[in-house]
Amino acid sequence: MTKVIVQKESDIGKILISNEEGKYNLVDIKFMHNLIDSLRMLDSNKEVRFVIIRGINNFGAGADIGELRRASENREYATNFFSTMFEMFRTLLNLSKITIANVEGIAYGASMEILLATDFVVASKNSKFAVPGGKIGVFPPVMLTLGKYRLGWNNVLKMAFLGRELNAEEAKQIGLVYEITDNFEETNTNLIRELKQIAPSSLSMMRKILFTEHEKELEKAFQELIDQVLTEDARTGVISFLTKTKPKWAIL
């Protein structure tokens, strides 16, 4: 089970994502609700100016494939699952605090897309990034909306259309990663020290202008994703992933 742990140190709120069983962190319904609640709690705390989101051992492997399978077979569940996911991203986009993501290990699928809704991504040298949803018959809604602004059109094609994985250096080259580090605490401290030179109200307004205008476009993409997960391709892709077989796509 993927847990969300909240800590506070002075004006810094920390959200730790971890799986005590040593497995990959997954985006499931419970995780999304816990992350939404944690973000809202920190956002309402006037003492908190910065929020650090860190995955322990790995940032995450994306959506829980079991829940995706259930979504592919039931419209009501698909609507609930992806509406909750949209709300998670909407909450991140509307946060008034500056956000820093700390990534070690993999950041795939929806887990990687969380990074696109944060301000700064600090990654370890062993980190890897991918949004391979197309390979199982779905697509990455945040990459296709926010990604084209943050990373550029061709990089979205590379990651979403081709499903390519990037290492830390490649992710830095396209602008996904701000800095590569072997010491998260030191890098976070230095970055926050620099951010504190900027007026708090200016930072909040700049973040608002950068992110909130994309909400309607993102919502539409999630509505399209609900329809997509119910297609034959999505059902085929999910089952093929679970059975470790090559999918046989329907002919358009």
CA distances from 160 to 18, 33, 59, 110, 217 (A): 26, 26, 19, 12, 17
Mean pLDDT of 71-80: 98
Q: Tens of pLDDT along 147-180?
A: 999 999 999 999 999 999 999 999 999 999 999 9
Q: Which residue has the higher pLDDT, 139 or 20?
A: 139
- In total, the chain counts a number of residues equal to 252
Q: Tens of pLDDT along 77-127?
A: 999 999 999 999 999 999 999 999 999 999 999 999 999 999 999 999 999
CB distance 174 to 155 below 8 Å: yes
State residue 175's pLDDT score.
Answer: 98
Mean pLDDT for all residues in the chain: 97
* Residues contacting residue 137 through CB under 8 Å, at least 6 positions apart: 228, 229, 231, 233, 234, 235, 236, 237, 238, 247, 249
Q: What percent of the chain has pLDDT over 70?
A: 100
> For residue 250, is pLDDT > 90?
no
Q: What percent of the chain has pLDDT over 90?
A: 96
| Complete domains list, the chain, with CATH | 2-183 (3.90.226.10)
CB neighbour burial string for 164-200, b if at least 16 within 10 angstroms, e if fewer: eebbbebbbebebbbebbeebeebbeebbeebeeeee
pLDDT band at residue 252 under the 50/70/90 scheme: low
